[in-house]
Amino acid sequence: MTAPLPAAQLRTRVRVPLRFPDGYATTAVVSSFHGLVDGREHLALALGEPAAVPLVRLHSECLTGDVFGSQRCDCGPQLREAVERITVAGGHLLYLRQEGRGIGLYDKLDAYALQDTGLDTYEANIALGHQPDERDYTAAAQMLHALGVPALSLLSNNPDKAAQLTRLGLTVAEQVPTGVHVSPANVTYLSAKARRGHDGLHRAALLADGTSEVPAG
């Protein structure tokens, strides 16, 4: 058995109207927390009407993709899609401050530089002394408990997220796949993610999309 999850408490809840560059607009109730285990300033955005089993997305921060529209990954389109789908279904977007699969912003940029020499995203992380994926969802589980969400529908292509949440005492009633957002600049990254990683559903989506034949690196 794992140790019991320390309880987190809601700190502040505040309404924030959102508008995306394509004009899509919605309103989030943004929550902050006391007592998150990693001490980081994670946010929960409640969107849409409350649902019995809310749709939840765990989105790990990606400054380059979320803010600047970087084409090296699919984080920006994933975030945009999640906000709209959760607004329709009712649920929560957890914005987790674990940049670059948990390795941090500067190391993510170092990894990009290594990728430009021919390594894929996983090899580059290992070359920098990191695990391929250092994301941890313990704080996310604390946030969901604090929000009064014992069971959820998880918007993700990544089975590791569902497995971690289940180990942390949440009930993942359903896993809902996201779209795959392929661009010329991110197809290598997405192919490596499908081939190497935890994103089994992503692999299936890429195969369905016919893009899995693109060579990595």
Residues lying near Zn ion in the complex (CB under 5 A):
62, 65, 73, 75
Active-site annotation holder among 101, 135, 199, 203:
135
| Residue 73 vs 119, nearer CB to Zn ion | 73
Annotated active-site residue 135? The verdict is yes
Query: What is the residue type of 9?
Result: Q
Q: 154 and 163 in contact (C-beta within 8 Å)?
A: no
Between CA 43 and CA 30 the distance in angstroms is 7
What's the half-sphere exposure (Cβ side, CA atoms, 13 Å) at 14? 7
Least Å distance, CB 91 to Zn ion, is 22
Name the burial class of residue 1, with classes exposed (0-12), middle (13-18) and buried (19+) by CB atoms within 10 angstroms of its CB: exposed
Least Å distance, CB 79 to Zn ion, is 9
Say if strands 55-60 and 151-155 run parallel, antiparallel, or are unpaired: parallel
Active-site annotation holder among 133, 160, 195, 196:
133
| Residue 54 vs 100, nearer CB to Zn ion | 100
Query: What is the per-residue burial (b if ≥16 Cβ within 10 Å, else e) of 152-176?
Result: bbbbbbbbebbebbeebebebeebe
| Residue 65 vs 91, nearer CB to Zn ion | 65
| Residue 62 vs 93, nearer CB to Zn ion | 62
Residues β-bridged to residue 14: 30
Least Å distance, CB 183 to Zn ion, is 12
Least Å distance, CB 84 to Zn ion, is 18
Residues belonging to the active site: 133, 135
